Chain A
Amino acid sequence: MINFSQVTKRYPGGHEALSGVNLTIEKGELVFLTGHSGAGKSTLLKLIAAIERPTSGVLTVSGQNINRLSQRAVPYLRRNIGLVFQDHKLLFDRNLIENVVLPLDIAGFDRRESLKRARAVIDKVGLLNREKANPISLSGGEQQRLCIARALVGRPALLLADEPTGNLDTGYAADIMAMFRDFHQVGTTLVIATHDDRAIAALGGRILHLDHGKVGEMSA
């Protein structure tokens, strides 16, 4: 599903976030990216979602060459990828369900069908009775679950999560990780950047350790 071949990412200014990464992630895999902050975890995720482009090397995602992907094609790639952000990136000018329905609006789905799907996902993350609330009234953990609902509503084949439990206390973090395990079980490919060792231990899965832009495989 995802294939890195000698991928290097150098930011303007010379900082090399990734150097010569070789990596293959199969469909349906659950992969954890670990490493200290600044090791290149976020950069790796950004490359997969074509938020950044590789400086050199070849990166393919779902059969598409990210190096050569045209700007016009990027939105269509992203519609197959669910993104979960550490800072949630929710929109506070609209209520909870409108946040979740946004990806479906963007993809041009029928509004009534979209709302139905959004409600189902909101139910799955345990926020159904709050669908009219403004996300600003939610706790950190609830905001993160809302962000996950938004990432999943389009039924993506691939879910990328950048420190999804970074700002949460242990109870919430365990909740979120349990949710990820459920998605993994229904066949979604997950790539999760985290330094939450307990979560990794609880879920199992493949662990990639990033150190100064280089990837090393670790056994669970």
Chain B
Amino acid sequence: MIGWLRHQKHALTSSLHRLRMQPVATLLTALAMGVAISLPSGLYLMLGNLSRLAGDLPAQPEISVFLDAETSTAQKQAIAARLKQPDIAEARFAPKEEALAALSLAQDLSDITAGLTQNPLPDAWIVRPRATSRDDLAKVSDDLAKLPGVAETHLDSQWAERLQAALSIGRTGVWLLAGLFAIALVAISGNAIRAQVLSRRDEILVSRLIGATDRYIRRPFLYLGALQGLLGGLAAGGVLALAGWMLHTPVAHLASLYGSAFNLMPPTLIEITAVLGLTTLFGWLGAWISVARTLRQVGASR
């Protein structure tokens, strides 16, 4: 056990030494990996921010229940009672005066509403049902429409569904891209390690002659691959941080034009850890594949 730990430590220090000895090659490999990693990660972050933006808006589907102009007080009370049923999460009465006031506030329409002698807008309830599926929502909506005194109901969820559908395509795209770039990562790492193995051919041959196991010979290269992967992940972090920094101001500006305080969210600590862990793993994997192959070429394993 102690011998094993010693071997790990020795392999790790010798890998770190290798990286330090070849700063340019290390940097180039890390950059190539960083770019490859930053594409899917960047897209992932973008989608996360878009989802959040969609969540800020009323993603919860709402049903607008418009009343007839001639609805009687008894009918109104019956409707109010119906809206206290457990399938309704929240219901808010919007009298027609409020609707008109809201319409007047919208700049372009104030002239038009000022010319009105009488409020043409109906009273309405803004209802948020407890149901979430499309079918259930439609049922509640139809149900409410049948109540006496209700002119019509409007299920306002289509745009949200469309956005969700688009985002889900985006998410699938991210995973596809991530898969492709993971393969690229393994290839980049494998190639860098192959060069390393070939450049240390003498050391490998001599080590074998004086009793090194294949595992001993492989170990520093595996560490090297893992470290390269980690550096690649960190480089990707740098690329994304730069992109975030450059996008920060224009995004805030765009958001302010929409009267929103929306800001780009950086990745969470868990996400950062996961990406670094994965890049380390793929760097290691590339090294593993490459070392096994290259060692066989370097000298028949005697």
CB distance from A190 to the nearest CB of B (A): 17
Q: Which residue of A lies closest to B207 (CB)?
A: A106
Give per-residue flags for B187-202: 1 if the beta carbon is below 8 A from chain A beta carbons, else 0: 0000000000000001
Q: Is A108 an interface residue (CB 8 A)?
A: yes
Q: Is A169 an interface residue (CB 8 A)?
A: no
Q: Is B206 an interface residue (CB 8 A)?
A: yes
Q: Which residue of B lies closest to A74 (CB)?
A: B302
Q: Which residues of A contact B10 (CB under 8 A)?
A: 105, 111
B211 touches A78 (CB 8 A): yes
Q: Would A76 and B6 be within 8 Å (CB), given that A91-B206, A106-B216 are in contact?
A: no
Count the B residues whose beta carbon is within 8 Å of the partner chain — how many?
A: 19
Q: Is B203 an interface residue (CB 8 A)?
A: yes
Q: Is A150 an interface residue (CB 8 A)?
A: yes
Q: B211 is contacted by which of A52, A72, A106 (Cβ under 8 Å)?
A: A106
- 18 A-B residue pairings within 8 Å (CB atoms): A52-B302, A71-B301, A71-B302, A75-B213, A75-B216, A76-B211, A78-B209, A78-B211, A89-B202, A89-B205, A89-B209, A91-B203, A91-B206, A106-B210, A108-B3, A108-B6, A111-B6, A150-B210
Residues of B that sit less than 8 Å from A by CB: 3-4, 6-7, 10, 202-203, 205-213, 216, 301-302
CA distance A105 to B302 in the complex (A): 19
Q: Which residue of A lies closest to B216 (CB)?
A: A106
Q: Which residues of A contact B205 (CB under 8 A)?
A: 89
Count the A residues whose beta carbon is within 8 Å of the partner chain — how many?
A: 29
Q: Which residue of B lies closest to A78 (CB)?
A: B211
Q: Which residue of A lies closest to B203 (CB)?
A: A91
A106 touches B212 (CB 8 A): yes
CB distance from A78 to the nearest CB of B (A): 4
Q: Which residues of A contact B7 (CB under 8 A)?
A: 108
